[in-house]
């Protein structure tokens, strides 16, 4: 019996080992790690990679009918552009690694802000779009474009060492910057943010900020303070912004959010007592906040975003589109409260 047990354990261990090395995901992660840590490997990868192009952090897009996509430009085309604009081919090494395909074909992002914008758009038959608009128009590669934008912004804002004031240099993959004077490595960072959908059991709370498009309501969100846990941030933000005390909360999911310069959005649901659900709005933070019934939220989910130029001040309420994790939180709440029995 003991022999059989050892045999089975050995078989299981071997199977897991084989699975691990046959895993596409593991292979991709190991490959990306190698490119980040080995400049020579990354330099070779430029020759087989595909590139997303940006101009001052605005992504290059093409359009067919009503659909937009970010084309992947191969290395030969990139070098051709550089030569045509009388630039050294080595400028391709200013690119940032943003991911790879299932077959481990690397993806990079290159900002051509130092070239003539109109000429590039004409040559490549496309245009550089406002990033916020592009984020909500793209149907593919949204995560890659979002990662690229965040990295480009981070490098743009971290060109000097905070200790010595000397210029820092990026490694070839672009996941860090190095100060030769101090030896400090600076790694790209994200700001932690909580986004919380508050409920009193039968209704959910949606809020508006003055910067939102007209008619749009969303879940409550705020940055984590230094020293706070996720739970502490949720409770503080709800208390600060709408004057309610959270009695329980649970985590839903997370999302990289590229606005303004790269955040990690951690989505939660929170519950308050129905008898203590009177809202007190913090006018420094919010323009409006109100409770919505299940029926009202379903109707809001079904409405399309309105153009910012809309003049009607009595717009019907709508919620963030599906690309935003706030949309997922609201969908989850709607599904949970679809049946009257779920309230009991």
Residue ranges of domains in the chain: 24-156, 191-306+313-343
User: What's the rounded mean pLDDT across residues 210-217?
Assistant: 92
How far apart, in whole angstroms, are the C-alpha atoms of residue 53 and residue 77?
Answer: 11
Choice among 135-144, 164-173, 289-298 with the minimum mean pLDDT: 135-144
191-306+313-343 — its CATH code?
Answer: 3.90.79.10
- The H-assigned helical ranges of the chain are 2-22, 24-37, 39-46, 75-84, 117-124, 131-137, 142-157, 230-242, 294-301, 325-336
* Torsion on CA atoms 225, 231, 232, 238, rounded to nearest 10: 90
At 166-204, the pLDDT tens digits run: 999 999 999 999 999 999 999 998 899 999 999 999 999
Q: What is the pLDDT of residue 306?
A: 65
pLDDT band at 4 (very low <50, low <70, confident <90, very high): very low
pLDDT band at 260 (very low <50, low <70, confident <90, very high): confident
User: What's the rounded mean pLDDT across residues 142-153?
Assistant: 94
User: What's the rounded mean pLDDT across residues 90-107?
Assistant: 95
The long-range contacts involving 221-229, CB below 8 angstroms and separated by at least 24 positions, are 221/193, 221/194, 221/195, 221/196, 221/265, 221/326, 222/193, 222/194, 223/191, 223/192, 223/193, 223/263, 224/191, 224/192, 224/193, 224/194
């Amino acid at each position: 019996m003991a022999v059989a047990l050892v045999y089975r354990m050995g078989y299981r261990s071997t199977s897991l080992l084989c699975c691990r090395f046959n895993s596409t995901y593991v292979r991709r992660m190991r490959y990306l790690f190698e490119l980040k840590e080995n400049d020579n490997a990354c330099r070779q990868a430029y020759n087989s990679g595909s590139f997303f192009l940006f101009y001052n952090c605005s992504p290059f897009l093409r359009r067919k009918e009503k659909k937009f996509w970010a084309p992947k430009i191969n290395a030969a085309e990139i070098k051709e552009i550089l030569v045509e604009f009388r630039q050294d081919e080595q400028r391709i090494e200013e690119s940032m690694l943003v991911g790879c395909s299932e077959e481990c074909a690397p993806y990079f992002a290159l900002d051509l802000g130092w070239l003539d914008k109109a000429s590039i758009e004409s040559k490549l038959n496309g245009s550089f779009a406002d990033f916020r608009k592009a984020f909500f128009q793209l149907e593919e590669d949204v995560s890659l474009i979002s990662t690229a934008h965040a990295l480009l912004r981070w490098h743009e804002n971290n060109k000097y060492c905070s200790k010595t004031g000397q210029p820092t240099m990026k490694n070839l993959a672009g996941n860090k910057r190095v100060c030769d004077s101090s030896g400090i490595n600076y790694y790209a960072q994200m700001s932690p943010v909580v986004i919380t959908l508050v409920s009193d059991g039968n209704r959910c709370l949606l809020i508006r900020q003055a910067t939102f498009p007209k008619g749009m309501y969303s879940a409550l969100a705020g940055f984590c303070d230094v020293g706070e846990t996720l739970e502490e941030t949720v409770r503080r933000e709800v208390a600060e912004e709408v004057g309610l005390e959270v009695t329980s909360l649970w985590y839903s999911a997370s999302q990289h959010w590229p606005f303004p310069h790269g955040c990690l959005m951690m989505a939660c649901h929170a519950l308050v007592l129905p008898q203590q659900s009177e809202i007190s709005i913090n006018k420094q933070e919010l323009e409006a906040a109100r409770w919505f019934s299940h029926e009202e939220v379903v109707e809001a989910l079904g409405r399309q975003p309105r153009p910012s130029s809309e003049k009607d001040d009595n717009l019907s309420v709508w919620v963030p589109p599906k690309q935003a994790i706030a949309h997922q939180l609201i969908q989850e709440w709607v599904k949970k409260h679809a049946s009257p029995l779920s309230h009991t």
